[in-house]
């Protein structure tokens, strides 16, 4: 099983090729049998709001319905999110198509990354930043 991480940062960070690849994405989504939720991606400097990220993962489907030859075709630029997107797509299972291992499929994974958990500062003695203006 080959895995490649080739990240092309897209000019539209909210899209990751979803508009341009709409027909392919729809065909791929129609083959999904099972999927798992993506784990939160939290970096070293999380923010209260986090950042909206996306990654378009391309792959083929083997005879067992497993994705193979995964690659990140487009990304909003967050490498950790792109790698997490590949990990989650690797766990998807798909209905098999004739010659599916010779076709390219694609999914766009989107979500908020680098968002502080509510208890991020608990036990550190540091006050949680407030979005309220101080008077």
For 17: left if phi > 0, alpha if psi spans -120 to 50, otherwise beta; the answer is: left
**What distances in angstroms separate CA 47 from CA 1, 38, 76, 95, 110, one per listed residue?**
36, 19, 17, 39, 18
Q: What is the pTM of this model?
A: 0.77
CATH 1.10.1740 fits 22-113, yes or no: no
Q: Per-residue confidence at 5, pLDDT binned at 50, 70, 90?
A: very low
Q: How confident is the model over 9-37, as pLDDT tens digits? A: 444 456 899 999 999 999 999 999 999 99
Nearest one of 106, 84, 76 to 94, comparing CA atoms: 106
């Amino acid at each position: 099983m080959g895995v490649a991480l080739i990240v092309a940062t897209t000019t539209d960070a909210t899209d990751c090729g979803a508009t341009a690849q709409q027909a392919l994405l729809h065909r791929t989504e129609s083959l999904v049998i099972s999927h798992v939720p993506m784990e939160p991606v939290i970096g070293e400097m999380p923010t209260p709001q986090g950042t909206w990220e996306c990654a378009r993962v391309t792959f083929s489907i083997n005879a067992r319905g497993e994705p193979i030859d995964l690659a990140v075709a487009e990304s909003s630029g967050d490498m950790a999110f792109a790698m997490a997107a590949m990990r989650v797509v690797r766990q998807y299972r798909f209905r098999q198509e004739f010659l599916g291992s010779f076709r390219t499929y694609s999914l766009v994974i989107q979500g908020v990354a680098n968002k502080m958990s509510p208890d991020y500062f608990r036990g550190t003695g540091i006050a949680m930043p407030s979005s309220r203006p101080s008077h």
